Structure formats: structure tokens, C-alpha cells
Amino acid sequence: MNHLTAAENFFVLWGTITHSDETSCVHRPLDSHFPRPNQLSYVAYFEGRPETIITEQSPKWNFRDDPTLPGNGYFGIEIGNLHEDVPEHSDKLLVSYSCYGVNEQVTNLVNLRDLKLRHQQHEAKLKSIQFPNFHSALHVNRENGRNIIEWSGRQELTYNLYRTNLTDTLPDGRPKRVYQRIAEALNSDVYTDHIIDSTFRYGYIAVAEDESGRQSGHSPEVVDVPIDRGPITHVAPFSDGSVAVTYTQADEIVIIDDHGKEVATLTAGTNQVIAVDRNNHLWVVQNDLEEVNVYSPTGKMIKNIPWSEELLENGKMVDLSIGKKSELYILTEKGINIFSPTLQSKGTLYFEDGIASPTSISMINDQIAVAFPVEHKVEIYRHNKGKIQNTGTIFTNHSEPWGVQWLNTDEFAISDPFLKSVTVYSTNGNMIGLLEQSVISSYGSPRAITRHGDELFIADGQKVSVLPAKFPTPTFVPEVTFSGEGEATLTWRSWQKTESSVRFWINGDDKKVISNPIMMGDHSITLKDLMPVTRIDYEITAPLRTIPPTLWSTSFDFVTPLWESGKTAVLKLPLAVILHTHAIDIDNQLKGHPATTPISADEVARIRNEIEDAVLFYWHNSRMKLFLDVDFFTSDEFWDVAPFGEHPAPDLDRVEAFLSSRDHHLSDYVGILRIIAEQRYDEEKNSWVIAGRGGGFTWGINPIDNYPGVSWWRATPAVESSGNNWLFVHEYHHQLDAMFQESGHPEYPFNHFSPMEYAGPFGEHFDGNAYILRQGWHQNDWFLSRWGEKLLLDDKDGDGIPDNSPFLPSDEIRLGSHPDKKDSDNDGLDDLNEVLLSNWVVHAVGEDWGPPVHFPNLLNPDIDGDGLKDGEDPLPLYSLDPGIVRRSPTIDGYIQKGEWPFIHDLQDDLGSGEFYFCWDSDFLYGAVRIQPLAPFHLQIDANIDGWFVGRDNLVFRFFPNLVGDEPNVETNVFVCDMQPEKYPHMDSNLFPAELIVSKDSVSDDLWTLEFAIPKNEALGLRLEEGDQIGINAGYYFDKTLQRRVSLFEPNRIIYLTLKQ
């Protein structure tokens, strides 16, 4: 095992993790920086060996993989961390998953197959059972060569204590975090670990166990010699600009002046919360003391007040806010407690059982705001005459409000350490301000947020960032303008007057500094002698005050323009596609089958054509900025895939050897795409066929080891829903995403669409990826990549289309357009925008574009031949009226002459169809004639906001009824709400099929269908004149329902308007 490195996984057990109600468990993994009871954790060990365990903190060896609990409903367990403890005759792993978000747990015994497989899939379904909670954080102190570990124990529980040596690391320096049990069934709440080496660092976790033997999830890890105090958890500002702060990994309160000097350090216990009152006194409340302490700004004790028994019983303290008269508003995990300055109770509110853990409280006058990050909400309460009443709930969409602070009686700010943002909401739920990390330019992970006067103090990693509390806040991010060739002027504002300095560099070269020593609030610096289309990285003098002070801002970047006319810039990314043509799973094949051979030359050509289609897709939809320069290789060497599992990751040493045999190397490419054409024997066809069924995997680019990105999948046959063109487009987009993340731009859109990730006015699959390439990324931002080659090519008319570059997927010559004319056919649409009329996809995911297919033609002013020039035509690729006529037909299964307004027809080799559409104030009507018989599919985007937004995405399928006059109907609503516990999903109950009025008739092989879909305002179907609706429609001539023939460009939605 010693030869394995962190660049590869030994064996990963992975799969989905769901709650008992079948929703995905997307609660966040346990993190000592964010200890809260709603988190998710696991413990794993080999059967019979509970003394050696791993947890979700035990890393995967391949650092490019997702985390072990990425928070998206999946888990991964790196068994390799236990490889030195593998029992000689055991192949069973016991895994216990604990989710405190819903108080569910499950323990599974997993039979591991051959460990040579590198990974195995397993599903974990949580159960609603009673199990103990670990109610306390561990604390450790090293004294006289020994570690003393303490916690707050409970009499009814015993405790098992585990230790890991943090100097036992993977080759890349990450601790393996294999924990050894050093004590079990402890009844006390203190343990002394004598067996330690003073040169090592150790981490400790504990598990509680009740009398029935049920165990809790493990505690957060505590480290005996912390590298630092950890991130700041609470901040309390004084009037002189100094602050008191607490940390995640230190039981102390530190007072720091505005120059960063530590004024005082106050010894504190666990779970302390702090706040400064109007008298400039620091109040400290903590769980393990029976008094409240009050200090001066210099750390001098002013007084202490005996503790309240009522609060002692109300759970762990979370946050503190102080009122005008020094009333204490104390937030605990169970509720809100209000006390006078002498700790007399003034009101109590208990949260409902099962409510997710709160993290922050803020009050203004009689209003109280409490943040609940897991539920993505802020609750508003009002305190009046000793009563606390809930007055409203503000949902924060995809943001997790960690800290909350009132700005005035109508507005409050929330901080989100995961999105690295500060957002302002009004009390009616409107978002009225957003400060992202790039805007503020100083903070990295904002947590607690507190106001003092006109400033907000934000706990920001190991510093406090200070910004104005007035909104809209002026932006402090620099603005870049290009005043002349080779020049870029940077202008910005600072909250306080500073000198103007810019520190910049190119491609890792030495940093250069340009300064103006005059102190000012408005700054301007000009950089000169810059090269065209070049990434410039730079920092400015920090525009905001921080405690301790920082000299430079976070780094920014920009790309210089192409000043030269008659040229266009293209980013060339070299890729290698390796197709293994001869592969089977011997274990799944029966004896007596004929011998296999590599797939046919026709199949190789088909797969290669699909790859070329994907390259063209990227080229056109990136506005001809992104050129994927693919080298296509094939290997006929026989490959038994059985020992490698269902989706074996490429062995990069093997890939390098293969490329070397063809005079290439991994270092020649920024991306590798490995395709295995596995075959299975089809008993009906008596032949070997390609077995792939879709689905792929990707590793992002690895700049540390200088490895390219890698994607891999099984080749799919022509009839499969997911073609190789789609698998290339989808998986390589993950490589692009990772490439820009490694280039300092993690904001590149993620192509797993949902309101929580990325959504917009687009359809499915190809259409969403096309939208990212067109709209989600500025065309000049492609050159922010730290990889690839910049090409400057001739473009005489400046329309963005290269004139004559045969190595590219297309250019002016092959498109037939004029290199010296932006609008070659004078149709009012310039050539590049005419190219962008289409996604350039015929064979998409689950559907094919049925004839007539009209791709953009840059020399034809009326592509669809409907008499409208393309620049005037709302639907230039389809010869149809974009308006839906108002009419009320009879639904009887027969289309009478003149009864229905015609929309579109289709003439395909597989069959033909006619489509009719109209509406009135009660129904949306449709009719089709299909020959031969085939189910009809209709999608409606009722709010025209895109397929991955809201619950207005309606799916209807109609199936011929050969024995009656009513077709079989299936309905679904594609629900894309801001629900963190549910990703986009189909719901068949929201729009029941019984609501659809439908009739059909069959004559020989001709099917006639008429249907009426009733108005449903709750799902966006309002049916009012002038409304637009989006549709996608098609016919399933393929009886397996794998692919349908679409009336319009596949995976896209076209928009029609309801008219008279």
C-alpha cells in the first residue's frame, strides 16, 4: 500500500444519503468551526474492529474529488485510510450515519466487493429513531507532557474517546484522521491521555452511548496544540474603534484596538457570547459559569451578576444582543430569553420542537430578528409587555444567514460565510442590497455581524472587517477603463482616506507597484505598456478598515482588450479523446457467445462525429471564443472492465504510456476524455452491441501535480437517451468550471441546474450549457484562464467570426458569409448573432430535431421561408406564427376542417405529425395527428422564466387508447423551488391527470388527439391575452421512450404569445 499517493483513491464507498421521507440529506457536514446540532456525520470501521474508526473528516486520497460529505445528498468514504487495519478475513464495513437536522440515524453493514475495484456504490437511508446527542464540545489542554480532555457529561450516558495523530498524513500533507479508541464506557467528563509524543499534534473526538447501546454521532474534533485560535465567532465593538472577539479554537475573549494590538485577554469558559452596551461595557455570558461578567474596554472587571436558574435550563447559549436600557436578549438553542441588567426575566419564547438551530440574534426597539441558516430564513419577533410574538418569516433564498443585524426598523443585514456575502433585506421580504466578496474586496468568510454607529463589524476569518451600515453602500471594487492603447485606468473608492497604490503582475512575474502618496477617498491609477488580450492580476490599497489592519485588498484581475482592428481573439484548449474500442465485462458474459472484436469502423466514426458535434457546440455558443482542439485516439487493445468496477477512473500512468506510444504526453493537454466502448451480448440480435447507458465522471485540472482535467464515461449507442456528444458537453463543462476555479474564478456557473446552483431563462441539458457559454460568462473572460493558448486571427469586418482559419470548427469561408460584411444577407441580423439563433444540436438528450431542420444560413435573409426577414422574425428557424389564436374547439377526438389553428408539422423518416394549438380564458387547447401511432409529449414553461425556476414547469404525456376514446394521460410538475432539502424533482400530484379533458380516435395507424389543459394560476398558467408561454413538444416514435422526435430544436423552449 505504501506506493499509493494522494493523486489516486484506494477504495471509495459512495452513494446517496436520504431522509426517511426520501428527501435528499443536504445538511452540512460536522465542522468544528460551525458546531451546531443540525449537522451530518458518519463513523465507519471494519466489522469487529470498533477500536479503529474513520469519519467524514478522513479525506479522500484524490484531493480533486468532492468532499466526503459535500452537502448535496451524497457521501463518500475513503476506505484507504483504514488499509493498515484491514482484517485478514473481513470484507464488511459498518457505517453509522447521524443527521441532527431531522434527528435520524442509520447503521449499515456493507459487504465490500473486491478492493481492487477502487470504488463501490451504496445507498444510505436514514431512519427516524431515538439516539443520544453529544451535548458538549471537547476541550483539551496539554500539561506536563500529557493531554487533559474535558467535556460536559450526562449521568445517563457513557463516553468513548478517540485520538488521531495529525502528523500521520497523506503524501500531500493532509492528515489521514484515523482515530484509535483510547477509552471506552467513561462515566466521568474528564480523561488524561498520558501516551503522547510532545513533538506530535493530536486530535480527539468522542461518542456518547446510552443504556440501550445506541450511540450518538461523534463530537467535533478538538486539537491539543491549535495552529491558531481559529476563525472569529463573535465580535463586539467599543466606541473607540476597538473590538472584543471570541474564537472557535480558544476559550478566551481578546480585546483588540483598531491598530491590531491586543489590549487584554480574558479567560473564558465554553460557549461564551458577548456584546457591548450603550455605556461601552462588555457583557460576557457563558454556559459554564454561574454569573454574568461585565468588563471595561481595557478588560477590567466592573461587576459580576449571579446567574439565573431559568436560563441555565434553557440550553446552550448561541448569541447575545443588548437593548437601549441594557436589557439582555439571549439566544439559546431552545429559544429567546430577555433579562433586565440585574438578570430579572422579562420574557421567554421557546422554539417549536425540531426547529433547526439558530445562530444569531439582533434587536432594535421592540423588534427581534433571529437567523436560522439551515432553514434559509430569518424570523421576526416583537417584544411587548413581557410577551414575545412571531410577526413574520423572511426566506433568504439560497443564502444561509449565519449572522443577522438590524440596520433600521425596516431593514436588516445577514452574513453568509458559505456564499461569502452580506445581504440586506426589508421586513417585507425584499432583497434590497447585496455585497459579495468581490464587491467589498476585503472579507473572505463573514460570520457574526454587529452594528456600532454608522459601521458594521463583521467577523471575517481571523480579522474583523468594518464597512458602512448605510445602503445602498458605495462599491469599493475597482472599475477598469481602457483610455488608450496599452493603458488601463483603475478607479475605486475607500471608506477612509488612504494613499493610492496598485500592485500588479502578469503570469506570475514579479509584482510591480504604482503609488500616489496623497491621502484621498477617490483613487485613480493608470497602468501603461500593457499587451492586448492579457490577464492582469492586481491588488489595491485596502479600501475598508480591518482589525488587525491589512495593507492590500484581495486580488482582482481583468483582461486587456484587443486594441488592433481586423483581428479576433480565440482561446485554444488542447484536449485528447481516447476511445477504447474493445472492452467487455467478462464476469457478466455467458459461455458460448461468439468472440468479441473491436467495435465497427462505422461505430467509431459515429462516436467521432458526436465528439465533433460537441466541439462545434462549444465553438458557436461561446461566440467563437472557445476552440477545443481535440486529438482523437483509438485503442483496439482488449480490456476486461470487470476488475475495475462500473465506472473506473483513468489510470494516469497508463494514459501517459498510451499517449507516449503516439508521440504525445499528458503535459500536451489541458483535458483528457476517456471513453470505453464496452460491449454486451444482445440475445435478441445475436450480436455484440455497445452497452453504455449514460453518466460520466470528471476530475478537475490539477495544477499541483501538473495533471490535466480528466473526464470518463462508457460510450453510448445511437438509440441511447444520452449521446456521446452530450456526455462530452456536460462532463467537459465540469473541467472548464474547475479550470476557472483554479484560475481564481469560482463563480463560473455550475452546470447542474437548480435555483440553489444556477438557473435562468433556458431549457434543459444542451440549452442550459449553451446559456452558460453565451450569457453566463463574458466573452473576454475566457482569457482569464491560466491555461490554454491565445490566438489572434484575421477578422476583417470585426464581427467576431474568423475569416479563414481551416483548423477551427467553422469560419466565414465555411459558413458562406462575407469576411468584409457584418450582415452578409442584409436581414437586419449581424452574422455572429445569426449563428447564435441555434444551439447547433440535432441529437440532444432524449430527443432529436425532426424535419424540417433549419440551421442558420448567413446568406439567406429568410431562413424559414415565412416571408419575414430573420432580423424581424421572432422565430426565424421555424415557419410558424408566434401567436396562439383565441378559440374554443370541441374536444371529441376528431379534428374538423377550420376548427383548429395550425401551428407546426413534422415529416420524419420515422413518422409524421401535425400540431394545433389555441386558447380561451379557461383552457389551453391542443390537438395532434400522428402517423404511425406514437405517444405525444408536451412541456410548458408557464412563466417563461426557464425550466429550472419555480413550479410552473408542466409536463404532459398522452398515449393512444386502442379500446376507447380517452387517451391515457400522465402529468408532472417539475418543481424547482428554493428548497435546500429538495433538488429539482417531478411531482405528479400538483396537476392531477384527471383535470385534463382529452379525447382521441384511431384509424389504421393514424392517431388523432384533442386535449384541454385547464387554467391553473398557482402553477403559472393564467391564460390572459398578451401572456407568453414556453413550449417544447414531440412524438415518441421510439417505443422504448428513450428518444422522441421534437417539433423544435431539442432541449429548447420556444415562446408563443396568447392573442385574439
3-class SS letters over 815-858: HCCCCCCCCCCCCCCCHHHHHCCCCCCCECCCEEECCCCCCCCC
* pLDDT recorded at residue 386: 85
Q: Identify the CA nearest to 496 among candidates 458, 457, 516, 522.
A: 522
Please, which pLDDT band fits residue 313 given cuts at 50, 70 and 90?
Answer: low
Task: List the CATH code of the domain at 479-559.
Answer: 2.60.40.10
* Averaged pLDDT, 958-963: 92
The alpha carbon of residue 774 and the mean position of all alpha carbons in its chain are separated, in whole angstroms, by 20
Q: Which of 124-138, 346-360, 372-386 has the highest mean pLDDT?
A: 372-386
Which residue type does 378 have?
Answer: V
Assign 80 to helix, strand or coil. Answer: helix
Which segments within 153-218 are labelled E, that is strand? 158-165, 178-186, 190-193, 202-209
CATH of domain 883-1058: 2.60.40.1190
- Of the candidates 998, 1059, 1024, 1014, which has an alpha carbon nearest to the alpha carbon of residue 923? 1014
Could you read off the pLDDT of 242-258 as tens digits, one per residue?
A: 999 988 777 789 999 98
Q: What local confidence, expressed as pLDDT, does residue 440 receive? A: 57
What would be the CATH architecture of the domain defined by 1-225? Sandwich (2.60)
Give the pLDDT band of residue 113 (cuts 50, 70, 90): low
pLDDT tens profile 219-235? 888 888 655 677 888 99
Q: Does 446 or 660 have the greater pLDDT score?
A: 660
What is the pTM assigned to this prediction? 0.78
User: Contact 585/682 with Cβ under 8 angstroms?
Assistant: no
Identify the pLDDT of residue 353.
Answer: 72
Handedness of CA 357, 362, 363, 368 (dihedral sign): negative
- With a cut of 70, say whether residue 443 has pLDDT above it: no
Query: Is the separation of the CB atoms in 764 and 545 below 8 Å?
Result: no
Residue 211 CA: distances (Å) to CA of 94, 129, 208, 215, 255: 21, 15, 10, 10, 45
Q: Where in the chain is the domain with CATH 2.60.40.10?
A: 1-225, 479-559
From residue 335, give the alpha-carbon distance in Å to each of 315, 353, 371, 952: 8, 10, 12, 37
Return the SS3 of 501.
strand
Distance CA 628, CA 673 (A): 12
**Is the model's pLDDT at 36 over the cut of 80?**
no
pLDDT, tens only, 708-767: 999 999 999 998 999 999 999 999 999 999 999 999 888 899 999 988 788 999 999 999
Q: Which of 175-189, 337-351, 422-436, 1010-1024 has the highest mean pLDDT?
A: 1010-1024
Taking alpha carbons only, the member of 769, 765, 764 closest to residue 750 is: 769
Sequential DSSP letters for 206-258: EEEE-TTS-BPPPPPPEESS-SS--SEEEEEE-TTS-EEEEETTEEEEEEE-T
* Predicted pLDDT of residue 12: 84
284-312 average pLDDT score: 79
Q: What is the mean pLDDT of residues 1028-1046?
A: 93
CA angle 713, 714, 715 (to 5 degrees): 115
Q: 232-468 architecture in CATH?
A: 6 Propeller (2.120)
% the chain with pLDDT above 90: 60
pLDDT value at 5 more than 50 = no
Percent of the chain with pLDDT over 70: 92
- Residue 929 is classified by DSSP as E
Question: 805 pLDDT exceeds 70?
Answer: yes
Residue ranges, comma separated, of all CATH 2.60.40.1190 domains in the chain are: 883-1058
Gap between the Cα atoms of 256 and 243, Å rounded: 5
Q: Which residue is listed with cell 461523534?
A: 218
- Please determine, for residue 259, whether its predicted confidence score (pLDDT) is greater than 90: no
C-alpha 68/C-alpha 78 separation (Å) is 8
Is the backbone peptide bond immediately before 852 cis, with ω within 30 degrees of 0? yes
Task: Considering the chain, tell me which residue range(s) the CATH 3.40.390 domain(s) occupy.
Answer: 570-791
Q: Please provide the average confidence, as pLDDT, over all residues in the chain.
A: 89
Greater model confidence, 562 or 188: 562
Is residue 1052 within 8 A of residue 1032, CB to CB? The reply is: yes
CA atoms within 13 A of residue 207's CA, in its CB half-sphere: 30
Structure confidence at residue 310 as a pLDDT band (50, 70, 90): low
End-to-end CA distance of the chain: 74
Q: How many other C-beta atoms are found inside a 10 Å radius of the C-beta of residue 955?
A: 17
Q: Tell me how far CA of residue 782 lies from CA of 209, 571, 704, 825, 834, in angstroms.
A: 54, 7, 22, 30, 22
With contact defined as beta carbons under 8 Å apart, do 128 and 354 qualify?
no
Quick one: fold of 570-791?
Answer: Collagenase (Catalytic Domain) (3.40.390)
- In this predicted model, what pLDDT tens digit does every residue of 648-699 receive, in sequence order? 789 899 999 999 999 999 999 999 999 999 999 998 889 999 998 888 999 9
- Tens of pLDDT, residue by residue over 482-515, are 988 999 999 999 888 999 999 999 987 888 999 9
Local structure of 903: helix, strand or coil: strand
> Average pLDDT in the 942-970 region?
94
Least confident of 7-16, 322-331, 675-684: 7-16
Q: What is the β-pairing status of strands 567-584 and 545-547?
A: unpaired
**Residue 158: is its pLDDT beyond 90?**
yes
Is residue 937's pLDDT more than 70? yes
Cell of 45: 470501521
Q: pLDDT band for position 2 (50/70/90)?
A: very low
